[in-house]
Chain A
């Protein structure tokens, strides 16, 4: 079945540091890939997505590239801020209105 494996946290960085959160997936065909962010006590917000190989999703300084050859969708940001502290989830779907399959989440804490 489909699955998502993401880097275990927690991750603690200083402000302006470079961020990478690794995400790999197992799926048949060409799933759509997503990164979601969850702030404490809240639901999930879409951060970025990519729907086909070599697509790059980007938003708020975050980027992730859909790599079919390595089945990966790593999240990166060049310079993190304290406000980026949250839990980040990598997810996939087989498209249409199919259910999302989530990774376990990575908690990021950015210190001033």
Chain B
């Protein structure tokens, strides 16, 4: 149980275009989701925390106008990278908080974004 499905797994886009990444909770309601960015051979950097129905809380240094996060339902959160540039190329991972007896965090499988 507690599966988060993240799509697409890989995407290549042209510089200046926008890309949307989706994360869906398949068998639970995700009231809180997290978006991370991971650079090669490095740890995960938290970008923002989103709560269903509210505006996302961005970490210091993350451009909220560039990385748009929407969490309009209890099963879907999206990250849109707007006007993408090569420096936005990275591995993006979503995570959801799972409550209940087996509480914890479950992660999507990640999206490899390459901007050319």
Contact = CB atoms under 8 A, between A and B. Distances in A.
Q: Chain B interface mostly helix, strand, loop or mixed?
A: strand
Contacts of A93: 105
B49 interface: yes
B32 A104 contact: no
Chain A, interface residues (CB within 8 Å), range: 20 to 34
Interface stretch (B68-76, B80-88, B93-101): B93-101
A105 B43 contact: yes
Interface residues of B, number: 22
Contact of A97 (B99, B108, B110): B99
A99 B46 contact: yes
A25 interface: no
B67 interface: no
A43 B43 contact: no
Interface of B: 6, 31-32, 34, 41-44, 46, 49, 93, 95, 97, 99, 104-110, 112
